[in-house]
Structure 1
Amino acid sequence: MLAYHNSQDSFYRNPFGAVPVGENVLIRLSVSSSLKVKRAILRLWKDNEIKIEMRLAKTDKDFFIYEAYASCSTLGLLWYYFIIETYDKTYYYCNNDEQLGGEGVLRDSFGNSYQITVYDKNYKTPDWFKEAIVYQIFVDRFYNGNEDKRIPYRENALFHSNWYETPLYKEDEKSGVYEPKDFFGGNLLGVIKKLNYLRELGISAIYFNPIFKANSNHKYDTGDYSRIDPMFGNNEVFERLCSIAKTMGIRIILDGVFNHTGSDSIYFNKYGRYDSIGAFQSKDSPYFKWYKFIDYPNIYESWWGFDTLPNVNELEESYMDFIIRNDDSICKIWIKKGAKGWRLDVVDEIPDEFLKEFRRAVKDVDSDAVIIGEVWEDASNKESYGKKREYLLGHELDSVMNYPFRNMVIDYILYKKSAKDFKRRILSLYENYPKESFFSLLNLLGSHDVIRILTVLGEAPPESSLSKGERAEYKLPLSGREIAKKRLKLAVLIQMTFPGTPCIYYGDEAGVEGYSDPFNRRTYPWGYEDLNILCYYKKMTRIRNSFDFLKTGEFIPFDYNEDVFGFIRYIENNTDVFNNRMENGIAVILINRSKDKDYKVTIDLRKKKVSRLYDLLNYNNKIKLKDGKLTAVLHPLEGKILSSKQCYPSKKGKRDGYLF
């Protein structure tokens, strides 16, 4: 090894990870003495190039250690690599080909740079959200709370008479475009009636898919931002829901769709169904400037070409006033009615200027409200429309939907990536995200936009190999479902013990299967839940909610071998990663993805001064450490939570499924 730098090793980069503006970061590079170095240069880039000659800090017969300080004086991303000049040639030490940080590569020409995220030193995300477990509800498919199960009439809609039917995939006869207009009747009253269920499940926040008046069943085609859709209830029912949920320790998060509206809306009114002068009807409409017409009125910009979803100009003054600035603006009024935050749809298509104002307006009403963005990649360096985004620098979002986490878990469990790959990928996020956002990430396994997690883990045939009809009817065979359930338990174990905020997509805890939209939006199977899965979820949420160290404790991931992934969560000196006073404790989480191999794992915990641990998933069995070393046997598809503290069953005992 002729040169070495590891951005995730505090010797080579200190402090670790993202830093507040004004911080100086110590950066070191080891170079083999055989290279006969003339000088080593730290090459930095933000708005321009800066080259810093590194100081020779230490020498021995094999390696020279060079160091320099990187000044992080402005918000944004700071990039660096190393130039090593010898008397014979010039080398470049750069980030690895996957751009994951950590160990780099020595090259003959420059390559990928390392990233330092520089954020606002006052950046703060809500503490309650870091400690929450979120439950995502697609309202039409959750529960009908009407005593007679009546579904309000809607023109051109299809109504299911049987709650347990499969959602329809119906295309318009003329356009061939899928029309999401079949309804099952779930509503907000149904959510109110199931709040006790959610509390028993360990939930402390609900994230709703859109609930404002709209024509479709998914409501991403907003018709009126100021009204709850009549099929779901009304504004008074929403306020009642927020009030009752609050008394039960459950907060409500709304889905904000501000990149586009529906063509069938007060604002566009393409079909004349509203008592308003919409932008489609007249250039004199108060909403005309909101939209981007190409050839008025029939040709206009729309989201991904769907003419039912006309794009808005988010920075149009009257639109900004309506959504953000007015005293009764949409972002404020729903917080005042009881919501505790917003999830922003397709946030990569919303300008930074809009997001900054949106954050200020929401936080002015409730500084503890949460703002989550829909981002599918590493949000720290996300680029959209040729611009690096500023989501997590302290002026826009608190959190994002952590789809990278979902991908990591699936790839690891299904043998697509090794345990080492899992560790490297999660450390990359940890390194790139400010701690405030990393410990607030919405860690999901399922959502309304992806195939149900159980279907994925059962290795169902690729969607492309099946017709729509075959996808609608597909169920995992018994053998596939059994292994999927075992894998799901591993995935949930990881999710509930990971830094960040776990999010359960409704029905995943009951064993619902399904390919992507609309089949991942089946109804919750009340009365037909898979109780084995449900009991496991309850057990895991109880463990999560019981210990501070599983929420905001330190996080050390490791790979034991190709199959065994693990991590340690701990709090020492009654202080968590945010310097908040919390209860001490430690847990070692171990996962064996192998279907047929046992592994004997030994972990050195001498530095943690632990003498015994309890196996929380095996009746709190006591495990004594020998000379500070933990030894445990992992059977195929087994996960363990070995904790310094015991977790006790609820008073309801067996009925709740807490069988320790």
Structure 2
Amino acid sequence: MNSLCIDWIYHNSHEKIYRTPFGALPCSARVSLRIKIASEVPPDTVFLRLWNEEEKEKLYPMSLLENQRMDRIYHAEIETPQTPKLIWYFFIIHFQNQTYFYGNNASQSGGAGEIYTHEPPSYQITVFQPNTRTPDWFKSSVMYQVYVDRFFPHHPDGITYEPAPKNFFRREWSELPEYERDPDTHRVIRYDYFGGNLQGLIAKLPYLHELGIGVLYLNPIFEAHSNHKYDTADYHRIDPMYGDQDTFQRLCAEGKKLGILVILDGVFSHTGSNSIYFNREGTYSSLGAYQSTDSPYYSWYHFDHHPGSYDCWWGIDTMPNVDETNSLYQDFILYQENSVIKHWMKLGAKGWRLDVADELPDSFIKSLRAVMHTIDDDSVLIGEIWEDASNKTSYGELREYLLGEELDSPTNYPFRKILLDFFLERIDAEEMHMQLIQLYENYPLHHFYAAMNLIGSHDVPRVLTLLGEAPEQQTLSKKDQKNYQLSASQRELAIKRLKLLSLMQMCFPGVPCIYYGDEIGLEGYSDPYNRAPYPWGKENLELLSWYKAIIALRNQHAALQTGSWHTAYARDDVYGLVRQITGNQDVFGQVKQNGTFLLFINRSTDQQRDIEVDIRSWCNNALISLLDNQKEFFINEGILRLTLNPLEAKIMLQR
């Protein structure tokens, strides 16, 4: 073989010439796949190898489409399956008694692939159910996550519900949370409470409205015997620490008046051992599954040896697992007239966030969503997933979250990791672009724009602590973790970074989610230190003002909600993107106001960056900076020239 360069075979799933249409596709859609081969003599054969879990392997001979000197373009057109699933492809080239494979790159990020002499990683195409949609109102909202006990205490009648005897109230709202553990077993023996409640949330709805929030996601609020409430004791009762059913209904009604809809946390993979259903501690008058095989709840659980040996969540015996396929359990959660899902949605809940969605069977999630839609066809279902939700495998099964019958929104932890890696200089702008576009390629468009783009949550360290380059958590003792605070210089750096990161969050497709207190500068390592009370009266007002401004910017402009997204620049420390609506239609064909926004971020802490960007594809008029007192930027022959100071962002609107 003569004159072969290192990239003599080439395919790029992100370029239209090689794969059209881009990204995820509905069932029975046509997709064109092409590959370029540069050699003096043509290959003997070129095949497209297609695979899915049901039909296994298919080989398609590729035909010569173009021949320009040494460059030959081979082409095949296929039809996606009639049922939703993932399909995978790579190429096989036979050449003078040699077989070459061309597949996805080693990081499996899509885009340009690599040449292999063995079976390569495949490219993914997500095939989803036609006419799938996610709620439009949700895609245009900003979320706020609240850990109710730590947000605001309000007891207008002067009555405070006392915790169980083994638990206790903190004396001061400003104290830090801490578990009391058995020194030998390290099990939690006492939980602390601060007194935040649903009345407090109602009292602070004006604050959330002023902040610009449209969705309020609550960590679990049903009766439970821990402060985190993930050990449900009674699905039909609000925990008395937080209030009652009437208070919840009033929260939903008052929130709706201000354009704030409430999402509940659904913990359906397990219950508490101290619950009506299991009743290991004998707290309840009901006959629990632990007490007797005659319990109406016995079939919910799996016992190896009754009563003491049973299946539980991650081996934690206070959280016995349930069998979500059990018909009695499904009736209770889903189908009965007063089922858990129906009961709370009729009282005002607009949707659910499913805890540990990867531990719930696909069939259960599908049924849950179907029941939700009988109550409210515009409700939203969010699933807790920590990886790419399009190809997540759990317990040996490839999940179906985004194929059209399950989730509306995955928790976008990959987005969080990508942004943190960029701002902490673990990856450069080009790698950030590649990782973001991988999600864009794998997710159906309606899921990509509905993804819950969180930066903080109750399960991860506070973002400010991370951005301030605090020591790795595992290097500190629990005592040192509790007491650690960023130095003045670290905190200053962290706030500057958080401003840029949050601006990126508000300008990127998806639903931004703010974890309570991030917007005013709370610090803390993971649970329980990331769950400190909201410091009313001691907020970082500069940061709060910033959040109000950037949320307002997103809320005011449809282009930042459902406009198209393009990477405009990605090199070293600088990343730039474009959000745009043209022709008065957003990416879903909805009538929206035209607008073109450009965002550029320099994440360098000490280097000024001068950049030149060809923006003719998106802009032809002058740009107005929205952060620089309406400073005007002019385009010279399609080129935008910018100077970005260290840790500076510019967001510009085309005139």
**Identity of counterpart residues, as a percentage?**
48
Match of 1:606, SS state, is: coil
Question: CA–CA distance in 2 between the matches of 1:295 and 1:559?
Answer: 61
Match of 2:546, SS state, is: helix
Answer yes or no: is 1:568 the counterpart of 2:574.
no
Code of the aligned partner of 1:298 = G
The answer for the alignment partner of 1:653 in structure 2 is none
1:453 aligned residue (460, 463, 470): 463
Match of 2:247, SS state, is: helix
What pairs up with 1:28-47 in 2 under 5 angstroms? 28-34=34-40, 36-46=42-52, 47=54
Question: CA–CA distance in 1 between the matches of 2:534 and 2:312?
Answer: 32
Answer yes or no: is 1:17 the counterpart of 2:28.
no
What pairs up with 1:459-470 in 2 under 5 angstroms? 459-470=469-480
Larger CA deviation: 447-456 vs 139-148? 139-148
Distance 1:322 1:111, change over 3 A: same
Answer yes or no: is 1:61 the counterpart of 2:69.
yes
Question: CA–CA distance in 1 between the matches of 2:376 and 2:157?
Answer: 38
What pairs up with 1:158-557 in 2 under 5 angstroms? 158-173=168-183, 175-179=185-189, 181-557=191-567
Question: CA–CA distance in 2 between the matches of 1:329 and 1:126?
Answer: 23
Distance 1:90 1:275, change over 3 A: same
**Deviation digits for residues 626-658 of structure 1 (CA, Å, limit 9, x no counterpart):** 22222111100111111125xxxxxxxxxxxxx
The answer for the alignment partner of 1:3 in structure 2 is 9
Kept in 1: contact 2:408–2:447 (CA 8 A) = yes
Distance 1:397 1:220, change over 3 A: same
Distance 1:81 1:180, change over 3 A: farther
Kept in 2: contact 1:94–1:106 (CA 8 A) = yes
Kept in 2: contact 1:169–1:468 (CA 8 A) = no
**Deviation digits for residues 163-186 of structure 1 (CA, Å, limit 9, x no counterpart):** 000101311356321356100000
1:144 aligned residue (145, 153, 164): 153
The answer for the alignment partner of 1:656 in structure 2 is none
Kept in 2: contact 1:2–1:35 (CA 8 A) = no
The answer for the alignment partner of 2:128 in structure 1 is 119
Distance 1:149 1:136, change over 3 A: farther
Question: CA–CA distance in 1 between the matches of 2:263 and 2:15?
Answer: 37
Segments of 5+ residues of structure 2 without an aligned counterpart are 1-6
Q: How many angstroms does 1:150 deviate by? A: 5.5
Question: CA–CA distance in 2 between the matches of 1:225 and 1:128?
Answer: 28
The answer for the alignment partner of 1:131 in structure 2 is 140
**Deviation digits for residues 26-64 of structure 1 (CA, Å, limit 9, x no counterpart):** 001011133631111000001210000001100111210
The answer for the alignment partner of 1:649 in structure 2 is none
Q: How many angstroms does 1:149 deviate by? A: 7.0
Match of 1:520, SS state, is: helix
Question: CA–CA distance in 2 between the matches of 1:257 and 1:325?
Answer: 17
**Deviation digits for residues 419-466 of structure 1 (CA, Å, limit 9, x no counterpart):** 111000000000000001000000011000000000000010111111
2:95 aligned residue (80, 83, 86): 86
TM-score, length-scaled by structure 2:
0.97
Code of the aligned partner of 1:49 = E
Kept in 2: contact 1:560–1:601 (CA 8 A) = no
Question: CA–CA distance in 2 between the matches of 1:432 and 1:473?
Answer: 42
**Deviation digits for residues 299-344 of structure 1 (CA, Å, limit 9, x no counterpart):** 1111101111000001001000000111221111111110000000
Distance 1:558 1:170, change over 3 A: farther
Question: CA–CA distance in 2 between the matches of 1:380 and 1:243?
Answer: 35
Question: CA–CA distance in 2 between the matches of 1:480 and 1:196?
Answer: 32
What pairs up with 1:70-109 in 2 under 5 angstroms? 70-73=78-81, 74-109=83-118
Question: CA–CA distance in 2 between the matches of 1:500 and 1:178?
Answer: 37
Q: How many angstroms does 1:610 deviate by? A: 2.2
Question: CA–CA distance in 2 between the matches of 1:628 and 1:547?
Answer: 24
Distance 1:609 1:409, change over 3 A: closer
Code of the aligned partner of 2:94 = E
Match of 1:84, SS state, is: strand
**Deviation digits for residues 213-241 of structure 1 (CA, Å, limit 9, x no counterpart):** 00011100000000110000000000001
Kept in 2: contact 1:590–1:640 (CA 8 A) = yes
Code of the aligned partner of 1:163 = W
Kept in 1: contact 2:461–2:526 (CA 8 A) = yes
Code of the aligned partner of 2:460 = V
**Deviation digits for residues 138-173 of structure 1 (CA, Å, limit 9, x no counterpart):** 000000011477641122111111000010131135
**Deviation digits for residues 388-409 of structure 1 (CA, Å, limit 9, x no counterpart):** 0000001010001100011000
Q: How many angstroms does 1:558 deviate by? A: 4.4
**Deviation digits for residues 54-93 of structure 1 (CA, Å, limit 9, x no counterpart):** 0110011121001101221231000000001112311000
Match of 2:118, SS state, is: coil
Kept in 2: contact 1:420–1:558 (CA 8 A) = no
Kept in 2: contact 1:35–1:86 (CA 8 A) = no
Code of the aligned partner of 2:136 = D
TM-score, length-scaled by structure 1:
0.96
Code of the aligned partner of 2:18 = Y
Question: CA–CA distance in 1 between the matches of 2:278 and 2:607?
Answer: 60
Kept in 1: contact 2:581–2:595 (CA 8 A) = yes
Question: CA–CA distance in 2 between the matches of 1:624 and 1:150?
Answer: 62
Question: CA–CA distance in 1 between the matches of 2:349 and 2:24?
Answer: 31
Code of the aligned partner of 2:352 = W
Match of 1:608, SS state, is: coil
Number of residue pairs the alignment of both structures matches: 645
Distance 1:272 1:387, change over 3 A: same
Question: CA–CA distance in 1 between the matches of 2:40 and 2:425?
Answer: 40
Kept in 2: contact 1:151–1:184 (CA 8 A) = no
Question: CA–CA distance in 1 between the matches of 2:432 and 2:158?
Answer: 46
Larger CA deviation: 423-432 vs 556-565? 556-565
Question: CA–CA distance in 2 between the matches of 1:103 and 1:177?
Answer: 50
Question: CA–CA distance in 2 between the matches of 1:554 and 1:498?
Answer: 10
Larger CA deviation: 333-342 vs 620-629? 620-629
Segments of 5+ residues of structure 1 without an aligned counterpart are 646-660
Code of the aligned partner of 1:31 = I
Kept in 2: contact 1:567–1:589 (CA 8 A) = yes
The answer for the alignment partner of 1:658 in structure 2 is none
